[in-house]
Amino acid sequence: MKFVDEAYIDIAAGDGGNGCVSFRHEKYKEFGGPNGGDGGHGGHVWAIADPNLNTLVDYRYSRRHDAGRGEHGMGSDMFGAAGHDITLKMPVGTIVTDAETGEVLYELLVPGEKIMIAKGGDGGFGNMRFKSSINRAPRQKTPGWPGESKKLKLELKVLADVGLLGMPNAGKSTLISAISNARPKIADYPFTTLHPNLGVVRVGPEQSFVVADVPGLIEGASEGAGLGHQFLRHLQRTRLLLHMVDIAPFDDNVDPVAQAKSIAAELKKYDDALYKKPRWLVLNKLDMVPADEREARVKDFVKRMRYKGPVFEISALTREGCEHLVKAIYQHIKAQQVAEQPSVEVDPRFTASE
């Protein structure tokens, strides 16, 4: 299935039905009185977060979505039927924005969450509503109210705990396939990954986290080089970024430190808040470095990088060091979750006294 993370749609809730002017026509009853019913209300447009979806491709080709109109009122005290609702299924993590004003209207962050994104119009009143002691034969009615119509922008930001960041061919896809259930395409050429991949990493019983692999960045991405910045939005909801670096590039003229610094610069150009997220260095392809040179090469890299955060040395291909990395990630995420939990104040009246 094609991965699409942005789409524009037009939605329209149903208009309400018009009220009816009608009078009873019964034998031997010359003045039967009014019996015009109300119009039915228009159908609503709902959005629901479907955990089984991971793309907005359905809305790339189907842009117009209309709910049903309410039926008009009828005689014999009959109200019009309500228009049918429509429900639009969207991936978890979808942001719904007003395409004309840019205002964020809704965010679907919880699986199964259902939100009304366009309200149907109310039905108009029939003449039976206007009957009174001084107006025994009213001929008034009201039209139905129009339903809401909107032009919306849908933007998908995947929900993941950890995001993989790095140059093309740094080994991000190999790592996510080694530690999770994801099976992305892996090849020995750049830009193998063309869309984000999600994988669930199992640490132990009821212990897991979600990792996201996005296409690689290159210097000049902010100007559109490579695949640009278009997929970095999928890292904005992560708790931790893993900056993967190829410690053993095939080309001797390639400097891993310069590449790592260029990635950090592109990240800062895109979003300063994303740049300030916790970011760990993961030096990959350790199996390509002779054992007696590994320690010196890692120390040289860290020194020239002037990096003071956590550094992990791994080989995603042979899975060397991956278990230690996974356990450290889980502990970091768990600590963040505990820190984010609101503290509960205990009423001193209910504490046990000595």
| Residue 33 pLDDT grade (very low, low, confident, very high; cuts 50, 70, 90) | confident
> Same domain for 193 and 48?
no
What rounded mean pLDDT belongs to the chain? 82
Q: In the chain, how many domains are there?
A: 2
Ramachandran bin of 257, using left for φ above 0, alpha for ψ from -120 to 50, beta for the remaining angles = alpha
For residue 202, name the pLDDT band (cuts at 50, 70, 90): confident
Mean pLDDT for the stretch of residues 72-80: 90
Query: Range with the lowest mean pLDDT among 99-103, 123-127, 231-235, 253-257?
Result: 231-235
d(CA 243, CA 130): 71
Verify that 169 and 208 share a domain, yes or no: yes
Q: Is the pTM here over 0.85, yes or no? A: no
Q: Evaluate whether residue 347 is within a structural domain.
A: no
- 185 and 264 co-located in one domain: yes
pLDDT tens by residue, 269-284: 877 888 888 888 888 8
Asked if the structure places residue 349 within a domain, the reply is no
Tokens of residue 336, six digits: 């963040």
- Angstrom distance (rounded) from CA 281 to CA 285: 13
pLDDT score for 11 = 95
List, in sequence order, every beta strand (DSSP E) within the chain: 6-12, 45-50, 64-66, 86-91, 94-98, 104-108, 114-118, 149-156, 162-166, 197-204, 207-213, 240-246, 279-284, 311-313
Residues 126, 220: one domain?
A: no
Distances (CA, A) of 153 to 55, 93, 202: 14, 14, 35
pLDDT digits over 206-264, tens only?
788 888 887 656 555 455 544 445 567 777 778 888 888 888 877 777 788 888 888 88
Q: Residue 206: left if φ>0, alpha if ψ -120 to 50, beta else—which one?
A: left
146 and 167 fall within a common domain? no
Which CATH number characterizes residue 276's domain?
3.40.50.300
Residues 139 and 202 occupy one common structural domain: no
C-alpha span between 347 and 354 (Å, rounded)? 16
Residues 174 and 41 in one domain: no
The residue segments making up the domain with residue 242 are 162-339
Considering the domain architecture, whether residues 100 and 181 belong to the same structural domain is answered as no
Whole-number Å distance between alpha carbons of 9 and 57: 12
In this structure, the answer to whether residues 18 and 90 fall within a common structural domain is yes
18 vs 287 pLDDT, higher one = 18
